[in-house]
Amino acid sequence: MPYLTTASDGRQLLFLHVQPKGSKTRIVGLHDQRLKIAVSSPPVDGKANKEVVRFLASVIGVGKKDIVIKAGLQSRKKTVLVSSVSAAALREIIQSFI
């Protein structure tokens, strides 16, 4: 499974592996064909999920409303829908961090 695909509605699907309680929030690389993101927030009361949304919106350059965690709210493995950006542009942005 690649870390990025296009959904049937044209939005982008990002497959993530999230590592909570990292030293800082950043893109680490790839893990099991998923984009690995370390977040500084703990996995308590949705804090890590909020940090994932905030961080991705900032990195990609879209609003937080354009980032939706579709699956994996209580898991390290998450599926995220990204609106308002093409697959090519999103892949280019991510590649600059890997």
Report residue 98 as tokens: 């890997």
Task: Check whether 13 has a pLDDT greater than 70.
Answer: yes
| Contact of 80 with 56, CB cutoff 8 Å | yes
What ranges make up the beta strands (E) of the chain?
4-6, 12-19, 26-31, 34-38, 67-71, 77-82
What pTM, to 2 d.p., does this model score? 0.92
Structure tokens at 51: 């940090």
Domain 4-95 homologous superfamily, CATH: YggU-like (3.30.1200.10)
* DSSP reduced 3-state for 87: helix
Give the pLDDT confidence of 39-98 residue by residue, as tens digits: 999 999 999 999 999 999 999 999 999 999 999 999 999 999 999 999 999 999 999 988
Please give the average per-residue pLDDT across 7-22, as a whole number: 94
